[in-house]
Amino acid sequence: MSKILDLNGKEEKDIELPPIFDTPYLPKVIQHVYNCLNSHTFQIQGRYPGAGQIVSAESRNTGLGIARIARAKGEGFPRAGQAAGVAGVRKGRVAHPPVSWKKIYKKVNKKEKLLAFCSAVGATSERDLVRFRGHSINDNITLPIIVSNNLESVVKTRELQQFIEKIGLKDDLLRTHNKRNKFVRKHKPNRKSPLSVLILVSNGENICRLDNSLPGVSVKTVKNVSLLDLVPGSRGIRLTIFSENAIEELNNIKSNQTILMEMVKT
């Protein structure tokens, strides 16, 4: 049993948790599935085969007191006589460049993927695993955090921030501002914030527009959430807030291990 909170952080009623929260924590399975799913986001890279070799160069052989490495032909210009066309020299080719035909897409079994997802959802109720990831949680907060369906009707960022502060997660929200790192990168965002709360809803027509409106706060639906969202970096469990409808929808997701556990109980 768990408590359902309203938007002001007050307890409304009790709710029975679905069987998915009884799934044991399996860190090795989660890490393996995470690595496979993370490989689906990689972009295939390659290099032009002739890069660093489009130059007229040959070795000058022995007897000159210099290395027998290939050198650019000609004279009277700076490039003449410089090592060229081989690996390990200035403006030369790369010794072992990335190739475009390398298989970087890792497949994963459907049942194993479902088991890892159920294990990650069940671990959101473990306070030690959530704190291990760096989240700031008070001792008076019970996990998992379940909120009424009014949460799905929030449409403004200010309302979302006030809601997070009222349920006692203000310190975790400030953590994303205090540890915000700055980078100097061309054509890319120059700030990176730690991840804070993940909000899981069933109907995200309104609140899903607020995804990433606050630094580190993500809003996902149960249909679109991935293991990459629940376990960023495959270490620790992300602090998650569930809506009441999301809990009911999770009741339909069962792994083989969960089904066996239900059979043993009956």
Query: What residue has token string 């190739």?
Result: 99
pLDDT in the model for residue 188: 61
Task: Determine, yes or no, domain membership for 82.
Answer: no
Distance CA 254, CA 115 (A): 8
Q: What is the pLDDT of residues 8-55, one digit of tens each?
A: 989 888 899 998 998 999 999 999 999 999 999 999 999 999 999 999
Task: Determine, yes or no, domain membership for 237.
Answer: yes
What CATH code is carried by the domain that includes residue 14?
A: 3.40.1370.10
Q: What is the pLDDT of residues 175-199, one digit of tens each?
A: 887 776 665 566 666 566 789 999 9
Task: Determine, yes or no, domain membership for 76.
Answer: no
Closest CA to 43 of 97, 92, 105, 131: 105
Task: Determine, yes or no, domain membership for 84.
Answer: no
Tokens coding 65: 């007191």
For every one of its 266 residues, what pLDDT tens digit does the chain have, with 9 covering 90 and above? 888 999 998 988 889 999 899 899 999 999 999 999 999 999 999 999 999 999 999 999 999 999 999 999 999 999 999 999 999 899 999 999 999 999 999 999 999 999 999 999 999 999 999 999 999 998 888 899 999 999 999 999 999 999 999 999 999 998 887 776 665 566 666 566 789 999 999 988 889 999 989 989 999 999 999 999 999 988 889 999 999 999 999 988 877 777 776 666 66
Q: How many domains does the chain have?
A: 1
Task: Determine, yes or no, domain membership for 8.
Answer: yes
pTM of the entire predicted model: 0.83
Task: Determine, yes or no, domain membership for 60.
Answer: no
Task: Determine, yes or no, domain membership for 39.
Answer: no
Instruction: Print the domain residue range for 238.
Output: 2-19+108-265
Distance CA 108, CA 142 (A): 34
Please name the residues in contact with 157: beta carbons below 8 A apart, sequence gap of 6 or more: 210, 213, 214
| Neighbour-count burial of 55, counting CB atoms closer than 10 A to its CB (0-12 exposed, 13-18 middle, 19+ buried) | middle
Task: Determine, yes or no, domain membership for 15.
Answer: yes
